[in-house]
DNA sequence: CGGGATCCAGTAGGATACTG
DNA sequence: CAGTATCCTACTGGATCCCG
């Protein structure tokens, strides 16, 4: 294949990262994943654990996670119906590298906020 | 196979992760960071390396990165003016955990796409 | 209980044109 | 060269009502 661009940074790679970061970087996905990593939950249980989420957004978030194969949805045809959501193996495998990022976040969130404050006041 | 998931889900934590993921999860940030991790670059050089980005979005992305203290901006008052952007120590420290995620992304992007395809055709 | 269907506001992203 | 200034579109997130 023709390689016109020699630079070290792999273009395909960084687009992949971007795609993943964009995928899991929405407002609720990781909060749901982190709760599910603990143990499986039912819909309203989950809704209670993720503070501030609407049913709409929880539904959408779960559906997208299920579509990507990260969450498994189990329906018990009882009355009233019970639906349980669990993190799949695949979902767990993602949550590992994300934990790394979580640690960085925990350690550096304050610094970021400081940097912003300084930048804004300096300006 | 299943690793015991260490210290469990802290609500403050997962909001922190979400914030960071949301911060770096936009369309261009990581693509710029990955290029800058290689070596410092000037504006139009950067623009050439990040395929498809507009000057507008490059400007915005760089400004936000600078505000967060992840990129350092150096101006040489020559004619024409030269501005060099470099990843700061802080920026490098972030790019480490992101590399983990990048590896996961590279290894699993195909799986995700397969999962989506199956989900969509099954439905 | 676990959603689906709408409607609506805010923001991210993009296309140009212009400037010191 | 390295941006700013506009304007516009599309998507994300949220509120509400309804339904099996």
Q: Domains for chain A: give ranges and CATH numbers.
A: 7-122 (1.10.10.10)
Q: Kindly give the pairing relationship between strand A82-87 and strand A71-76.
A: antiparallel
pLDDT at A7 over 90: no
CA A22 to chain centre: 9
d(CA B2, CA A86): 14
The pLDDT tens digits of the residues spanning A59-118 come to 999 999 999 999 999 999 888 889 999 999 999 999 888 888 888 988 999 999 999 999
pTM of the entire structure?
A: 0.85
* B9 pLDDT above the threshold of 70: no
pLDDT at B83 over 60: yes
pLDDT given at position A14: 67
Q: Give, as ranges, the nucleotides of chain D with any atom within 7 Å of a protein CB.
A: 1-6, 12-17, 20
How high is the pLDDT of residue A15?
A: 74
Chain B segment 27-46 residues within 8 A of A by beta carbon are 27-31, 34-35, 37-38
Number of DSSP helices (H) and strands (E) in chain B, helices first: 5, 3
Question: Could you give the CA distance from residue A97 to residue B53 in angstroms, rounded to a whole number?
Answer: 27
CA gap B113, A67 in Å, rounded = 9
Q: How confident is the model at residue A6 (pLDDT cuts 50, 70, 90)?
A: very low
CA distance B80 to chain A (A): 24
Q: Is the pLDDT of residue B8 over 60?
A: no
Q: Which residues of B50-66 are buried (b: 16+ CB within 10 A; e: fewer)?
A: beebeeebbeebbebbb
Distance CA B69, CA B89 (A): 9
Residues of chain B in contact with residue A20, where contact means CB-CB under 8 angstroms, are 101, 104-105, 109
Chosen from B34, B45, B119 to mutate, greatest number of chain A CBs within 10 A:
B34
pLDDT band at B17 (very low <50, low <70, confident <90, very high): confident
């Amino acid at each position: 294949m023709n390689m016109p661009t020699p630079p070290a940074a792999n273009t395909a790679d960084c687009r992949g990262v971007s795609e993943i970061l964009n995928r899991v970087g929405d407002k609720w996905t990781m909060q749901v994943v982190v709760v599910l990593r603990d143990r499986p939950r039912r819909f309203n249980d989950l809704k209670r654990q993720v503070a501030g989420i609407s049913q709409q957004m929880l539904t959408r978030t779960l559906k997208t996670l299920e579509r990507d194969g990260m969450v498994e949805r189990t329906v018990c045809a009882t009355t009233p119906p019970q639906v349980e959501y669990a993190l799949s193996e695949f979902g767990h495998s993602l949550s590992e590298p994300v934990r790394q990022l979580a640690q960085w976040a925990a350690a550096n969130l304050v610094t970021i906020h400081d940097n912003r404050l300084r930048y804004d006041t300096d300006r």
